[in-house]
């Protein structure tokens, strides 16, 4: 099949590459000339395990193309995926300017029948707005505003499909190729919608060989499904973080509690880990956007308001622990930081807890030696922006090339991201390198008793029974 994908971020690039891998001819379109030039030169602008090999192989095979030519991209695809960004607006709602700009382009240039697939995470009702925008442009070109009339006269026509993504950064390729479900929202009552459903089912058929994972529903239900999924996962994270803070006060161990409740088949273990809060490109903005959507209809989502408030507070947990142990004035103190990306296997720094931790430690006078296996380059860019008006603080932040370099000469260590490389460190070396032998673990990676045996003062989250030397 002939596919065009508009937007080459995480979702667009993974979608385009993986669809090319199943034998389709895919054209990826982006207005960022520098990014398209990099892609055409074989460079991948994001870190996503396994993606670079798929992109290179399918470019070499002639199945994957990158261009800034919007009209050519529209002509090249029978199915047009919209995978552009939907950043949060000032009021928390999703900013649809890029989605609607793509819709206008479709209406201006499309010929024949096109299936327009909303892959971006968009508020409920966006499918209607996209359809209205395309129709408005078609009318300007002299075509009918009535879909039935366009169909009868053989004019350029389209159908809207909502096909939300459920990709985890760091595992996006595997998630795309082995999805839990494929949600297709479409108007099954119209001939255009029926045709679109047949085409999209055929497109995803290679991913359904073992069993049909497809869930067909109306467009609005599909749009809400994406937000509901992310809101539920964010809720589980904030719930466990609140319990972790309580467990620490009560003298309970949140890790034992996690195992106790996770063993219940109705609950399960996923997303029940206490930590420093969620970040990334999805959960923060989607929780806000869903609250905004509800507010516009007169509903107050009290649970999600609490989820967001808990998460904002949880990003300061390590800061509070460090200041309780080392003092409010951290001048002359060096803190090593392990992990900068919001989660492992990505270089994504959007809403990363490390940004709050480092900014506040620098404000308290500390110096920072930070290490991340992948995200240091992106972190340099982000902190240069975050601390642009604080040059003296920025001067006390340095990025190092190894976990050991972050420890050398540091008073204490803060662990923010649970990269595998941090899971089995040399505890004796850690105790030797750290001047105050203090470890503030935002991911509960280690056994408290083993840390004490190594002579390390260990401060995890929600584990008040930890034995300190």
Between the alpha carbon of residue 58 and those of residues 126, 140, 336, 430, the distances in Å are 32, 38, 41, 45
CB-based contacts of 271: which residues, under 8 Å, 6+ apart?
233, 236, 237, 240
Q: Which residues are catalytic?
A: 282
Indicate the burial class of 402 (C-beta count within 10 angstroms; 0-12, 13-18, 19 or more).
exposed
CB-based contacts of 47: which residues, under 8 Å, 6+ apart?
345, 346, 347, 374, 375
Q: How far apart are the C-alpha atoms of 369 and 173, rounded to whole Å?
A: 32
Q: How far apart are the C-alpha atoms of 43 and 171, rounded to whole Å?
A: 19
Q: How far apart are the C-alpha atoms of 398 and 29, rounded to whole Å?
A: 37
Strands 157-162 and 182-186 come out as antiparallel
The answer to whether 442 touches 317, Cβ cutoff 8 Å, is: yes
Query: The tokens 């385009």 sit on which residue?
Result: 16
Strand partners, 413: 336, 439
The answer to whether 351 touches 386, Cβ cutoff 8 Å, is: no
The answer to whether 89 touches 68, Cβ cutoff 8 Å, is: no
The answer to whether 280 touches 10, Cβ cutoff 8 Å, is: no
Tokens in use for 271?
């997303």
The answer to whether 161 touches 118, Cβ cutoff 8 Å, is: yes
Q: How far apart are the C-alpha atoms of 276 and 287, rounded to whole Å?
A: 17
Torsion angle in degrees (nearest 10) through CA of 313, 316, 318, 324: -100
Number of C-beta neighbours around residue 312 at 10 A = 13
């Amino acid at each position: 099949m002939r596919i065009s994908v508009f937007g080459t971020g995480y979702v667009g690039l993974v979608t385009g590459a993986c669809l090319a891998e199943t034998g389709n001819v895919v054209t990826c379109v982006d207005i960022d000339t520098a990014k398209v030039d990099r892609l055409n030169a074989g460079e991948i602008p994001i870190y996503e395990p396994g993606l670079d090999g798929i992109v290179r192989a399918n470019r070499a095979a002639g199945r994957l193309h990158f261009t800034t030519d919007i009209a050519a991209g529209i002509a090249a695809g029978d199915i047009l995926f919209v995978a552009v960004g939907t950043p949060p607006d000032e009021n928390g709602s999703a900013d649809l300017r890029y989605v609607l700009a793509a819709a206008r382009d479709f209406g201006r240039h499309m010929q024949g029948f096109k299936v327009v697939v909303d892959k971006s995470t968009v508020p409920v009702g966006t499918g209607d707005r996209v359809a209205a925008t395309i129709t408005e442009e078609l009318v300007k070109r002299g075509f009918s505003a009535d879909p039935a009339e366009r169909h009868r006269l053989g004019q350029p026509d389209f159908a809207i499909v909502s096909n939300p993504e459920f990709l985890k950064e760091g595992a996006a390729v595997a998630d795309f190729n082995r999805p839990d479900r494929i949600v297709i929202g479409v108007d099954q009552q119209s001939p255009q919608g029926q045709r679109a459903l047949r085409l999209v089912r055929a497109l995803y058929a290679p991913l359904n060989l073992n069993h049909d994972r497809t869930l067909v529903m109306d467009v609005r239900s599909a749009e809400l499904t994406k937000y509901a999924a992310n809101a539920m996962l964010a809720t589980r994270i904030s719930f466990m973080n609140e319990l972790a803070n309580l467990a620490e006060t009560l003298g309970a161990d949140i890790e034992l509690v996690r195992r106790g409740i996770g063993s219940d088949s109705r609950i399960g273990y996923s997303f029940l880990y206490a930590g420093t809060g969620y970040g990334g490109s999805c959960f923060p903005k989607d929780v806000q956007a869903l609250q905004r959507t509800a507010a516009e209809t007169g509903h107050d989502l009290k649970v999600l308001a609490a989820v967001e408030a808990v998460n904002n507070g949880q990003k300061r947990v390590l800061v509070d622990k460090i200041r309780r142990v080392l003092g409010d004035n951290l001048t002359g103190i060096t803190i090593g930081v392990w992990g900068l990306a919001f989660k492992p296997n990505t270089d994504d720094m959007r809403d990363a807890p490390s940004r709050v931790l480092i900014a506040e430690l620098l404000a308290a006078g500390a110096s920072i030696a930070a290490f991340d296996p992948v995200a240091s380059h992106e972190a340099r860019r982000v902190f240069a922006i975050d601390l642009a008006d604080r040059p003296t603080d920025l001067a006390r932040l340095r990025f190092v090339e190894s976990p050991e370099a972050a420890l050398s000469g540091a008073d204490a260590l803060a662990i923010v991201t649970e990269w595998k490389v941090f899971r089995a460190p040399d505890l004796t070396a850690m105790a030797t390198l750290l001047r105050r032998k203090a470890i503030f673990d935002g991911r509960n990676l280690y056994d408290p008793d083993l840390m004490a045996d190594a002579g390390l003062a260990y401060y995890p989250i929600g584990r008040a029974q930890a034995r300190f030397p």
